[in-house]
Structure 1
Amino acid sequence: MAITADATGATSGRHVSPVIERSGDGHHRPALAALTIGALGVVFGDIGTSPLYAFREALAQSAADGIDPSEILGVLSLALWTLILVVSVKYVTFLMRADNQGEGGVLALAALARRALGIRSRIALVLGATGASLFYGDAILTPALSVLSAMEGLRTIPGAAAMFDEGTIRLCTIAILIALFLIQSRGTAQVSRLFGPVCILWFLAIGGLGLSHIADEPSIFRVIWPDYGIAFLATHGVTGLFVLGAVFLTVTGAEALTADMGHFGKLPIRLGWFLLAFPALTLNYLGQGAFALAALERARVDGTAFTNQDWFFLMAPESLRAPLVILAGMATVIAAQAVITGAFSLTQQAIQLGFLPRLRIRQTSAAFQGQIYLPAINWLLLAGVLILVVQFKTSSAMAAAYGIAVTGTMVVTTCLAYLVVRHRWNWSRGLALAAILPFLALDLIFFGANILRVIEGGWVPLLVGAGVGLVIYTWVRGRGIVAAFERRQSIPLADLAAALAKRPPERVPGTAVFLTANVAAAPGALLHNLKHNKVLHARNLIATVRTADRPVVPPAERVREERLDDNFSTVTLTYGFMESPDVPQDLGIETRALGLDPMKTSFFIGRNTLKPEAEKGMPPWQDRLFMFLQRNAADPTEFLRIPPGKVLELGEQVTV
C-alpha cells in the first residue's frame, strides 16, 4: 500500500542508497571483513561506551545504606543478563529477522507492519510515530552523556584532579560537542573511515582492561549464573527496581543493531557483536566487578569507608589513564556521531512517510548518497545537548534521564514486531504471543523501572518525545484537513477531460506537468490555470509522487504512465521510504524518455494559503502551529529537484 506525499507530491532530496552494500550474507571474505569493521564503528559505538558509566550508576543506586559483596555481584549479574537477553537474544537473534527488504529500525518496521495490516494500519503508524518521537529524546542524551562521561575521566589522571573541576570538564565537553555539530555540514565521509579501526581498538582496550582485573577476584565468573541477580531483586524491593533502571544503561544503543541493518547486513552485525563487542563488554564489566570487590575488601581490612567510584578509569594503571581518556573521548564522539547520523536518517524517513514537514536536506558526499545533512535537525540537537550539559552538570545526574526514551522505543519496537510476526509472517496468535510476550514483559519491566526516575531527570526525554509527537500529530491532522478541502473542491479528471474535449480552450505549445496527490482528480493548479489564464497546453501530465512501504523501489517500477485521452496522461512516481525524488530525472526530461522537451516543459504546483478558523478544524493554537510548520517547510521544488525557473505556483485560501 503506497503512502501519498503531500499535495505537491513533495518528499525529500535525492535517491539515498546505503553507504555500504545491503546484505553481508553472500559477500566474499574481504567485503565481509570490511562490513564487519564498519559495523563495529557505527552500530556498536553507543553500547560500546556504556561501561564508562553503567556499572558505576547501577551500583550507586544500592549505595544508600552501604555496599556489600552480594550487591556488587547482584548488580553485575543483572548487567550481564541484560546484555544477553536484550541484545543477544531479542535483537541479534530474533528482531534482526524482521527486516523490511534489509532495512530495520522503528519506521522500517512500522512500514512493514502497515503493509501486513492494510487498511487496519493506523495502529502501525501510531506506533511508528511514537517510536520516532522517543528517539529524538535519546538523540540529545547520547552525545551529552557519553562525551561528558569520557571527559570526567580527566579527574582520574594523577595530579589532574585539581586542574579539571566540574566547570572545566563541562567546558571541555561543550567545546567538543560544538565542534562535532559544526563539522556535520561538511560531511563525515572521510573521517568515518576511522570509526571502525578506532572502535576495534576501543573494544580491545576495554576487554583487556577488564581481563587484567578479573584476577583480583577470579570467582567473579559465578555471576554468569542468574541466581545472584534474581536474589538481589528479591531482597531489595523498590531499590532493586531503581538498580534495574540503571542497569539498563548497559544496553543503550541496542536499537542501532536493527536500525543499521540496511547499511551493513545482518551477518556483519552479528559477527561484530558475538566476536568482539559482546566478549569485550562482558570482560570489562566482570573486571569492574572484580575490581570493586577487591576495593571493598581493602576498605574492610583498612577499616575505611567504601565509596562508589569511577571504576572504569581507575582500573587502568596511572601511566595509561591519559591515553585511555583520549581513546574514550574518540569512542564517545563516534557514538555521538552515529546518533546524529541516525537522527538525520530517521527524519528523512519521517518526511517521506508524511510524519513531518519538508526540511532542507543536503548531500554531503558525492560518493556516498546515504550521507545527508539536515541543518534544522543539527542545530536543534546541538541546542538540546548543550542545555542538558549545562543543566545536569555531571554524567551521574544525566544518567537518570537516559533509560526512559530507550526503553519506550524498545516497547514500541516489540509491539511492531508482534504485528509483523502475526500478520506478515502469518504465525498463529498463540505462537506469536509465545514468541513476543517474553520480550514485551522484559521491556515493560525495564520501562517501569526507569519510570521511577522521572523526577530525577527522566522527564527530559519524555518532554522531548511529547513535543515531537505533538508536531507529528499536528502535521498529519493539518494535512488531512487540507486534503479533505481539496477533495471537496476537486472534480474527477475524467469529467474535466470529457468537458474540455467538447469545448476545447485556447491551446499553447509545450508540456505542462501538474503535481498533485491524487491523479484521479483534476489538480487545483490545473483548474486555476484554466480559470484565470484560459489556456491548456498541448500536452498535460498529471503527476504524483508516492512513498511505498518498502525502503527501495527498483528503477523499472519507478514510473507508471497511463494515457487518459489526447490531452491528458497520468504519471505515478513511486519511491521507497529510504529514497528521495528527482522528478525531472525520473520523468526522463533530459533523456526525453517520455517525449518531454526540457525547453518546452513547465511544472505547476498547488500552493494554498492557510487561514485559521476557530469554529471548525483544529483548535486555534494547533492551527497556528500547523501554519508555522507549513510556512517553514522547505520549498517543494528543491525537494523535487525541479529547476526554479520551470515552476509556476497556483493556489487559494484553505481554512484549517
Structure 2
Amino acid sequence: MTTPSPSRGLTPSVIAEPAATTAETPASSHPHHHADANPTGRRLALLTLTALGVVFGDIGTSPLYTLQECFSREHGVPATIPDVYGVLSLIVLSLTMIVTIKYVTFIMRADNKGEGGILALLALIMQRRRRDDDKGSRFVLISLALFGAALLYGDGIITPAISVLGAVDGLKVIAPALDRWVIIITIVILFGLFSFQRSGTERVGRMFGPVMLVWFATLAVLGVAGFRHHPEILKAVWPGYGVSFFFRHGLHGFLILGSVVLAVTGAEALYADMGHFGKKPIRLAWLTFVFPCLLLNYFGQGALLIAHPEAAANPFYLLAPRALQIPLLVIATFAAIVASQALISGAFSLTQQAVQLGFVPRLDIRHTSHHAAGQIYIPEVNQALALGCIVVVLFFKSATALGAAYGIAVTGTMAITTLLFHVIAREQWGWSPWKATAASATFLLIDLAFFGANVLKIEQGGWVPLAIGVALFTIMRTWKEGRRLLWTILQGRTLPMSMFIEDVARKKPMRVNGTAVFLTSHSEGAPVVLLHHLKHNQVLHEQVVLLSIGVADVPDVDERETLVVEELGEGFFRVRATYGFMQQPNVPDLMKHLNARGVKTRPMATSYYLGREQLIPSGPGKMARWRKMLFIFLSRNARSATQFFSIPPNRVVELGTQIEF
C-alpha cells in the first residue's frame, strides 16, 4: 500500500490538482500585503517615492548602456545625424507604446486582487476556466505563462550583471588604466549584494526611494546640459525619423531593435510589483517623473553624439563634465544595485507564487519583515541567482557583450504577457473580438519585432536566457505532471471515510488522549498514512483531524473565513483550509482557529502524522523515465513539510513507504 508524504516532495496541497485550489472560495485580502486601492496625500507621496526605488530601478539604469549598444562598433550603426535622430525616435516610440500605453494603461488593469505578474495573470485566467473546459487551450495557456516566468529568471540573472557591469564600466572612461579591475569590482559588488539578501530588503528599502530620486534627477540634469550641443534633438520625438531609419538600413536597421529594446527593460516589473504599491503610485511616478527624466537623458546623449560622434564609446559618462564623472560613477553604481535588488526581490515573489500554485517544489521561504508580507528571502533562489550572475559576468566580460543576451528574455516575456492579456480582455473584460484583437495585435506586432531582432543574436549570447528558460520550464512542467500522476495513483487507493469509520465503530480500537492530525492531499477518503498508522500501531487518538490544505487562485484569503470543519463521527473531523498563492501556510496557527469550531486542541497534546515516501520510477505512470528521475530528485530536495507548514518538529511522527509510479 502507498502513502502520500507531506514530509518531503509531496504535500497535502502539492499532490492534489489545484482543483483543491478553487477560485470560488470566498476571499478577503490581507491589509498588510496590498497597498491602498486609492491612496491620497502623504500616503500617495510615500508610496510613489517607494515605488520609484523598487519598481523603476531596472528601466532607470537603461541609459547606462542603451545608446552605447545602438552605436557600438560590434553591431551598431555609425553616430551620424540621421541615425542618431532615427534611434532616438525608436527609443521614444518604444517607451511610449510598450511602457506607457501597453503596461501602464492596459496591462496593469489586469490585477488579481491587487497582485500583478505573469503567474498572477495566469491564475486570473484559470479562475474563468473550469476543469471541464478545453484541455488543449488550458495546456497552451499554462505552458505560455510558465515559459514566460522561466524567462524572467533569466532576466533576473542578467539584469544585476549588466546593470552593475554597465555602471562600473565608467572606470574605463575615468581611469583607463583600471580597465582590468572592472570585472573584479563587479563580482565583489554582486557578491556583497547577494550576501545582503538574508537581512531582507526592509533596511535597504528605506534608501531605495531617495537614491533613485537623486538618480533620475541626475539623468534629467545631465540631459538638459547636453542640449547645448544640439538643441534641435528634441525633434526626434517625431516617429518619422524612426521609419526613415528602417528604410536606410533595411535588415541591419531591424537588428538595431535588439539594442533599442534595452530602453524598455524593466517594464514587466511595473506589473509584477503592482501588488506592493498599487496602480496609482506607479502610474504617477512614471508619467510625472521617470518617463520625462529618461527622455531628457536620452536626448542629451543624442545631442552629445551629434557634436562628438566619438563619444559613442560611452555616451552616458561622457555626457558629464570630467570633474563630475567620479560622483556620477558612485551614483550609477548605487542605482545599479537598486535595479538589481528589484529583480532579485521579484524572483523571490515569483518563486513563492510558483510554489503555492504547485509548479515548483517547496523551498525555504523566509519572511524578512513583520509589516510587509511581500518581503521574503529564499536561500536556494538567491544562491542560484548569485552563481548565475557571476558566471555570466566572467563569460561575457562586458556590458556590450551582455546586451546581446539580455533582450531575448525581456521580449519573450512581453510577447507572452500580450497573449495572456488578450484572453483577459475577451473573457473577463468582455471586449468584443475586434477591439481585443486590435489592441493585442498592435502590442504583439511590436513585441515580436523586438523578439525577432534578438533571436538573430542567439549565437552572440541570446542562447543563455533561452537555455535557462527551457531548463526551468522543464522543471516546472515535470513537477506539475509528476504531482498529477501521483495524485491519480493515490486517489484510486483511498478508502472511503464512511467505510473506515464504520470499521472503527465496530472494532473499537484502543483510544489514547490527545489529538492526531493527518495531513492529506485528498479532501475525501481516509489517508493511507492513517491506515498504516492503525494497522501497525493498533491505536487511535481520541480526536483525529484529517487536514487538507489548498491554494486558491487569488493572492490572499482569510483562512478563518475559508476554513471548513466537518464532524464525521467517532471523534473524527475533516478540516479543509485554503490559502492564497502569496501566503505561507501555518498549521499551528490554523489549529488555534479550530477551537472556535468545536475541535478543542492543545499544542502539547497534538501529534502530526506525515508520510515519508520512497519513489520508484518503475510504475505504469505515463511519463518518460528521465522525467520521473528528475521528479524524484526534486522531491528529495524539496523542503520538509515540517518546516514549510511551521509544524513543531518534536510533535511530528513520520511513516515511510514506497511508491511505484
TM-score bucket of the superposed structures, by smaller chain: over 0.9
| Cα distance in 2, alignment partners of residues 480 and 310 from structure 1 | 53
Equivalent residue number for residue 301 of structure 1: none
Residue identity opposite 2:261 in structure 1: F
Pair 1:624 & 2:622 matched? no
C-alpha distance in structure 2 between counterparts of 1:185 and 1:32, whole Å: 29
Question: Which of 377, 382, 386 matches 1:378?
Answer: 382
Q: In structure 2, which of residues 601, 608, 614 is the aligned counterpart of residue 603 of structure 1?
A: 608
Separation (CA, whole Å) in 1 of partners of 2:46 and 2:450: 35
Whichever residue aligns with residue 168 of structure 2, its letter is M
**Is 1:540 aligned with 2:569?**
no
Letter paired with 2:190: L
Is contact 1:559-1:587 (8 Å) kept? no
Say whether 1:282 aligns with 2:284: no
Deviation at 1:555, TM superposition (A): 4.2
Q: Any unmatched runs of 5+ in structure 1?
A: 297-305
TM-score by length of 2: 0.92
Mean Cα deviation higher: 363-372 or 470-479: 363-372
**1:542-564 Cα deviation digits (max 9, x unpaired):** 11111100001024424111222
Aligned AA (1:364): T
Q: Deviations over 1:384-437 (max 9, x none)?
A: 101101000110001000010111111111111112111122323333212222
Q: Is the 8 A contact 2:71 2:312 kept in 1?
A: yes
- What CA deviation, in whole Å up to 9, does each residue of 1:91-149 have, x standing for no partner? 00111111001110001101001101222444332222112111111010000000000
2:257 is paired with a residue whose SS is: helix
- Which of 217, 225, 230 aligns to 1:204? It is 217
How big is the shift at 1:26? Answer: 2.6
Say if 2:206 is the partner of 1:193: yes
What is the CA–CA distance in structure 2 between the aligned matches of 1:63 and 1:133, rounded to whole Å?
28
Rounded Cα–Cα distance in structure 2 between residues aligned with 1:72 and 1:469? 39
What SS class does the counterpart of residue 551 from structure 1 fall into?
coil
C-alpha distance after superposition, 1:338-378 (max 9, x if no partner): 11111111111100000010111222233433321111111
1:642 matches 2:657: no
1:606 & 1:415 partners in 2: Cα distance? 41
Of the three residues 87, 102, 108, the one matched with 1:75 is 87
Measured after TM superposition, the shift of residue 226 of structure 1 is 0.3
Which of 386, 391, 399 does residue 387 from structure 1 map onto?
391
CA deviation string 1:550-595 (max 9, x = no partner): 0010244241112222332211111111111001102217967631
Give the letter for the 1:476 counterpart: K
Q: 1:331 to 1:278 in 2, by over 3 A?
A: same
1:279–1:544 distance in 2 versus 1, CA, 3 Å? same
1:590/1:187 CA distance change after superposition, 3 Å: farther
Counterpart of 2:569 in 1: which secondary structure? Answer: coil
For residues 342 and 619 of structure 1, the distance between their equivalents in structure 2, rounded to whole angstroms, comes to 33
Q: Which residue is 1:366 aligned to?
A: 370
Instruction: Specify whether residues 596 and 424 from structure 1 end up closer, same or farther in structure 2 by C-alpha distance, changes over 3 A only.
Output: same
- Matching residue of 1:145: 162
Amino acid at match of 1:480: R
SS at match of 2:229: coil
The alpha carbon displacement at 1:181 in A equals 0.7
Of residues 560, 565, 579, the one that matches 2:564 is: 560
Distance 2:462 2:505 in 1: 65
Would the alpha carbon gap of residues 506 and 599 (structure 1) be closer, same or farther in structure 2, given more than 3 Å must change? same
2:535 to 527, 531, 537: 531
Q: Matches of 1:191 and 1:504 in 2, distance apart?
A: 61
In 2, Cα distance between the equivalents of 1:136 and 1:286?
32
Q: Which of 135, 138, 143 does residue 126 from structure 1 map onto?
A: 143
Q: Deviations over 1:523-542 (max 9, x none)?
A: 11111112111222222111
The 1:635/1:64 distance shift into structure 2, 3 A limit, reads closer
One-letter identity of the residue aligned with 1:220: I
- 1:7 Cα shift? 4.6
Deviation of the 1:223 alpha carbon: 1.1
Shift of residue 27 of structure 1?
2.2
Partner of 2:20: none
* Residues 481-560 of structure 1 aligned to structure 2 (within 5 Å): 481-560=485-564
Residue in 1 that maps onto 2:104: 92
> Alpha-carbon deviation of 1:20?
6.9
Shift of residue 25, structure 1, vs aligned partner? 4.4
Could you give the per-residue CA deviations for residues 596-655 of structure 1, whole angstroms, max 9, x where no partner exists?
122221111222210122875433322222111111111111111110111112242112
Letter aligned with residue 397 of structure 1: A
Shift of 1:185: 1.1
Once the two structures are overlaid, the 10-residue window that deviates more, 629-638 or 557-566, is 557-566
1:336-351 mapped onto 2 (5 Å cutoff): 336-351=340-355
- 1:176-226 per-position Cα deviation (integer Å, ceiling 9, x unaligned): 000111111122311210000000000000011011111211111111110
Structure 1 residues 43 and 350: CA distance shift in structure 2, 3 A: same
Which residue is 2:176 aligned to? 161
Query: 2: distance between equivalents of 1:75 and 1:651?
Result: 64
Which of 410, 430, 433 is residue 437 of structure 2 equivalent to? Answer: 433
1:400 partner letter: A
Check the 8 A contact 2:71/2:77 in 1, yes or no: no
- Give 1:101's aligned residue: 113
Higher mean Cα deviation, 513-522 or 169-178?
Answer: 513-522
Give the CA deviation at 1:245: 1.2
Q: In the alignment, which residue of structure 1 is the partner of 2:21?
A: none
Check whether the contact 1:589–1:598 (CA below 8 A) recurs between aligned residues: no
Measure the CA separation in 2 of the matches of 1:250 and 1:66: 19
Assess, with a 3 A threshold, how the Cα gap between structure 1 residues 128 and 61 changes in structure 2: closer, same or farther: farther
The code of the aligned residue for 1:629 comes to L
Deviations 1:462-486 (A, max 9, x none): 0011111111122112212221221
Local SS of the residue matching 1:509: strand
Q: Does 1:180 align with 2:193?
A: yes
Mapping of 1:573-592 within 5 angstroms? 573-588=577-592
Query: Match for 1:86: what amino acid?
Result: I
* Paired AA for residue 348 in structure 1: Q
Report how many residues are paired. Answer: 635
Determine if contact 1:20/1:264 at 8 Å carries over to the other structure: no
The 8 Å contact of residues 18 and 370 in structure 1, kept in 2 or not, is answered as: no
TM-score w.r.t. structure 1 length? 0.93
Partner secondary structure for residue 434 of structure 2: helix
The farther-off stretch of 636-645 and 495-504 is 495-504
The aligned residue for residue 303 of structure 1 is none
**Taking every aligned residue pair, what percent have the same amino acid on both sides?**
45
CA distance 1:476–1:397, change in 2 (3 Å): same
Matched with 2:49 is 37
Alpha-carbon distance, 1:24 to partner? 4.2
2:267 is the alignment partner of 1:254: yes
For residues 362 and 514 of structure 1, the distance between their equivalents in structure 2, rounded to whole angstroms, comes to 25
Q: Distance in 2 between matches of 1:209 and 1:19?
A: 41
Q: Which residue of 1 aligns with 2:152?
A: 135
> Secondary structure of the equivalent of 2:49?
helix
Higher alpha-carbon deviation: 264-273 or 642-651: 642-651
- Counterparts of 2:75 and 2:658, CA distance in 1: 63
Measured in 1, the distance between the counterparts of 2:406 and 2:441 equals 24
Whether contact under 8 Å (1:564, 1:570) holds in the other structure is: yes
Q: Secondary structure at the match of 1:561?
A: strand
Q: Which residue of 2 aligns with 1:224?
A: 237
Give, in angstroms, the shift of residue 459 of structure 1: 0.2
Give matches, 1:419-430, under 5 Å: 419-430=423-434
Tell me how far apart the structure 2 counterparts of residues 263 and 18 of structure 1 sit (CA, whole Å). 12
SS at match of 2:128: helix
Change beyond 3 A, Cα 1:489–1:564: same
1:48 alignment partner in structure 2: 60
**Cα pair distance change 1:646/1:20, threshold 3 Å:** closer
